[in-house]
Chain A
Amino acid sequence: MKAAVILRQVPDVVEELVIAEDGRSLSEDDVMYITNELDEHALEQALLLKARHTGTVTAIGLGGDAARDALATSVAKGADEAVFVPIDFAARGDNCVLSAHLAAALKAGGYDVVLTGVYATDQLDAGLGGLLAARLGIPYVGGLSGVQLDAGGRKAVVHKEYPGGRLGVMEVDLPAVLGIQSAEQPPRYVPVSKVMQARRTLRVKELKGPLPQVAGVTVRKLLKPESSAHAKMLEGDEDAVAGQIVNLVKERGLL
């Protein structure tokens, strides 16, 4: 089994998100990066597959320096290979550019299965997984919470999440791209000392070359949603309040 996992770095929302002067992007100096949570799940799922069926896991880290740290952590967790793909700040959330950039390398890699998170918190366009699969001409199923490979390694059986806790079982011929919603167990812990060790001994391949000129979504404006530091208080007695809550529920399509 030859698996690849794509890990993207996204802005960490624990820190205040500062909009740049142009009003259309984040201020680069103020952004702290963190690995996209669902990509961590994708890595965990890949490591689980490796434990079950012998094989290798290649971690592909996209972004800036933070991506290199993510690769060290991935290797500390058990990934066999690390590939760093430097991406300019402006393109980091652009899946059209990323998928075009990665397609050739993934094809050359001869991977049976490519796993990545089904979405990233910074994405505005179609998910990376679906675009990659389309470019590679291989199947894609996303929103998965379970992946099994059959003994021959030629197909996968996946569990796709639908609303209401229902799971769709699907058989997928390999090679394929899989969009992970949650790994079968939470991303494993790796002690800091192991990560530091990995960092020291890490050998990283780098995917060099300019980013392709591909049309993407144009961002006109970034804005903060109207937030109130305090709840809007609903006035009146229980009857009045109940009525207002029912309206809120209906407005949100929750009824």
Chain B
Amino acid sequence: MSPGGIVVVAEQEKGELADITLEMLACGRETADRTGWPLTCLLLTDRAAPFKALPLAADRLVIVEDPSLGAFNPEVHARVLAHHLKAMAPALVLLGNTATGMDLAGPLSLLLGGMAVSGCVRVAVEGDAVVATSRLYGGKLLAQTSVPAALALVLLMPGSYPRQKGMRDRAPKVEVQGGAGLAGPLRVRPKGIIEPKAEDVDLRKVPVLVAAGRGVQTKDNLRMIEDLARTLGGAVCATRPVVDQGWLPRSRQVGRSGVTVKPRLYLALGISGAPEHVEGMKDSDLVVAVNTDASAPIFDVAHYGATVDLLDLIPVLTEKLKAAKGGK
């Protein structure tokens, strides 16, 4: 099989690896163990030092270090990656199905003469083909596809593989290389990052939403909901009746005459599931609903449900989440 094996193209920001990188390494490790192929992590950065001792589950970590590689630049990154990947000649390249990975897929596939598959949640190798499972039509269907492992570019959806399996007990062999492939026109020039303002919350951009319905009962109880949302790195939203009471501003309303959201996690607390509300959240990736009424229509939309009292559940849940995070 191909000498280059599997290469994971890492994503990093200011000296830290993005979670997707670890997930891709977990996927790569699993595939490498099954095929016997070598697994390389390829990282472009302006500073190699923070990454050299990381216990990544790769056989080799190749760091391309150059001052111009600090901020993401699709044009420069594509050129540099193409240069190094050509030399490595892998069978399978893993990219994140993310803002950066999606910019690179097309250009890389043409530069390397390979085939890209996007939206993948599962990757396997069968003979000389890479078989991937992807989500289609907003998740309504799954597609199983195959592309030749020469070279296959797979874009992996965040959350498809467990991050912990991207690490192991020792650091891989590290090579630091200079920036070859950097010469050339700079038609795309990064000019900085605009950070979001603390107060402005666009519910549509938040990956985790904790939704409060009438079952929350009083405005005071919102405080524990906010704590839970903070712990999950998300935001609080609400149904119409809660907003009507004035407990939360109109901007937090999800539903027909509010905002439509599709977060990765929608925690529906004390929400009955009236159609006007469901319209605004039914395409969420994972819906977990808590309502003491077992026949509440929200359970027809939720993936998981529970009939415990949310006022009893939330403090316990928040504590357990904090404990789980604490070990990170």
Contact = CB atoms under 8 A, between A and B. Distances in A.
A143 B74 CA distance: 12
B299 interface: yes
Contacts of A130: 102-107
A139 interface: yes
- Chain B at the A interface: mostly helix, strand, loop or mixed? mixed
Given A13-B137, A124-B143, A166-B196, A233 B118 contact: no
B289 A231 contact: yes
Interface in A112-167: 118-119, 121-135, 138-143, 157, 159-167
Q: How large is the interface on B (under 10, 10 to 19, 20 to 34, 35 or more residues)?
A: 35 or more
Given A122-B137, A223-B144, A254-B232, A171 B188 contact: yes
A168 B159 CA distance: 23
B131 A254 contact: no
B99 A234 contact: no
Interface string B272-286: 000000000000011
Interface in B217-243: 232
- Chain A at the B interface: mostly helix, strand, loop or mixed? mixed
Interface stretch (B38-46, B85-93, B244-252, B311-319): B311-319
A246 interface: yes
Contact of B134 (A124, A132, A138, A176): A124
23 contacts: A10-B137, A130-B104, A130-B107, A132-B106, A140-B106, A141-B74, A165-B196, A166-B196, A168-B190, A170-B189, A219-B144, A221-B144, A225-B139, A232-B304, A239-B316, A244-B304, A246-B317, A250-B324, A252-B264, A252-B286, A253-B160, A254-B159, A254-B265
Interface of B: 19, 23, 71-75, 98-99, 102-107, 109-111, 115-119, 131, 134-147, 153, 155, 158-163, 187-196, 202, 205-208, 232, 264-265, 285-290, 294, 299-309, 312-313, 316-317, 319-321, 324-325, 328
